[in-house]
Amino acid sequence: MNDAKTIGSNALVLDTAEENVTVMNAEESKLGKEVSLIEQRAEAVVVASGADFEGAGLFLKQIKQAQKQVKDYWEPLRVSAKKSYDEVLNHRKEMIEPLEKAEKIVKTKVNEYSAEQEHKRREQEEAMRRLAQAEIDRHLNEAAEAEANGDAVGAEYAMAEAEMMEGVSIAGGVQHQTPKVKGISQSKTWEICESECDWSKVPVSLIGIELRPVDKAAVLRLIKMSKGQVEIPGIKFRETYTTSVSTR
C-alpha cells in the first residue's frame, strides 16, 4: 500500500483495487463460513413432529436466502470474467484467422505442386510404356519374319529381345520424389467429381461392395482400396493430396 502511494495518481486506482479485493475476500470468507454452518445444521435437522416440520420449513427459507446471497455475490464476478474471456477469444480469433488463411493458401499450393508432379510422372511412365511396347512389337515382328525365312537363330534372338523389353516395361516405372521437409507430411486421397458423374450408370455392386442406391462413402472406400485404379461406370474421381504440419 505504501509503495502504491509513491506513483502519483495511479496510486489511487491501485489502492482502490486492492481495497476492493480485500473487501471481496472478507465477504467471500464470511459467506463461506455461513454456508458451511448451514450445511452442518442441515445434517443435524430432525423432522419428527409438527413443530420440527415448521422449524425445517423456516430453515429451508434461510437456505434459499443464503443461496440468493451466494448467487448475488458471484454474479458480477461471473459476468466480468465472461466478458474478459470473450474479449480474449475475440482477440485470439483476430490474430489466428489470418494465420489459418495463410496456412490454407500455402497447403493448397503445396498440394497442387504434388498433384502436378504426379501427373507428370504418370505421363512420363505412359510415354515409356508406349515406347517399350513399340520395341516389343518390333522385335516380335522381326521374330515372325525370321521364322518365316527359316532363320531359327534370328527368330530366337528377336524373341529374347522382346521378352527383355517386356521386363523393362513392367519394372521401369518413373519414381516421383517429393522434397523431404522435417515436420511436413503428405497423404494421398481421392474425391468424387460429383458434377461429372452419371449416377444412373453406377452398378448395383462391384467386387462385393453395394453401391446402389448410390453410397458415396462406399464408392470412396472402393476407390481407396484400389489406390485409385478402379473404374466405376458413371463415376468420375480425382486424386488429391493432404498436407499435415508438425512443429515438433
Secondary structure string (H, E, C) spanning 165-224: HHHHHHHCCCCCCCCCCCCEEEEEEEEECHHHCCHHHCCCEECCEECCCCCHHHHHHHHH
Instruction: Specify if 18 maps to a domain.
Output: yes
Boundary of a domain, candidates 76, 103, 130? 103
Q: What is the domain extent for residue 98?
A: 4-103
Q: Which residue has the cell 495511479?
A: 10
Instruction: Specify if 13 maps to a domain.
Output: yes
Let me know whether 9 and 98 are in one domain: yes
Alpha-carbon distance 79 to 106, whole Å? Answer: 40
Select from 159, 154, 153 the least CA-distant residue to 140: 159
Is the confidence at residue 242, as pLDDT, over 60? yes
| Residues 27 and 73 sit within 8 Å (Cβ to Cβ) | yes
Higher-confidence residue of 6 and 226: namely 226
* Mean confidence (pLDDT) of the chain: 79
pLDDT for the residue 23: 54
Select from 168, 114, 180 the least CA-distant residue to 136: 168
Higher-confidence residue of 80 and 14: namely 80
Over residues 63-101, the pLDDT tens digits come to 999 999 999 999 999 999 999 999 999 999 999 999 999
Q: Assign 239 to helix, strand or coil.
A: strand
107-122 average pLDDT score = 85
Q: Which of 2-11, 23-32, 188-197 has the lowest mean pLDDT?
A: 2-11
End-to-end CA distance of the chain: 46
State the DSSP code for 4. G
Let me know whether 99 and 185 are in one domain: no
Boundary of a domain, candidates 72, 103, 134? 103
Instruction: Specify if 10 maps to a domain.
Output: yes
Boundary of a domain, candidates 53, 72, 103? 103
Q: Is the peptide bond before 213 cis (omega within 30 degrees of 0)?
A: yes
Alpha-carbon distance 226 to 220, whole Å? Answer: 10
pLDDT for the residue 90: 96
Alpha-carbon distance 57 to 10, whole Å? Answer: 51
User: Does this model's pTM top 0.85?
Assistant: no
Q: Which of 7-11, 48-52, 124-128, 207-211 has the lowest mean pLDDT?
A: 7-11
| Residues 202 and 212 sit within 8 Å (Cβ to Cβ) | yes
Number of domains in the chain: 2
Q: Which of 57-61, 87-91, 131-135, 165-169 has the lowest mean pLDDT?
A: 165-169
pLDDT for the residue 1: 43
pLDDT for the residue 168: 60
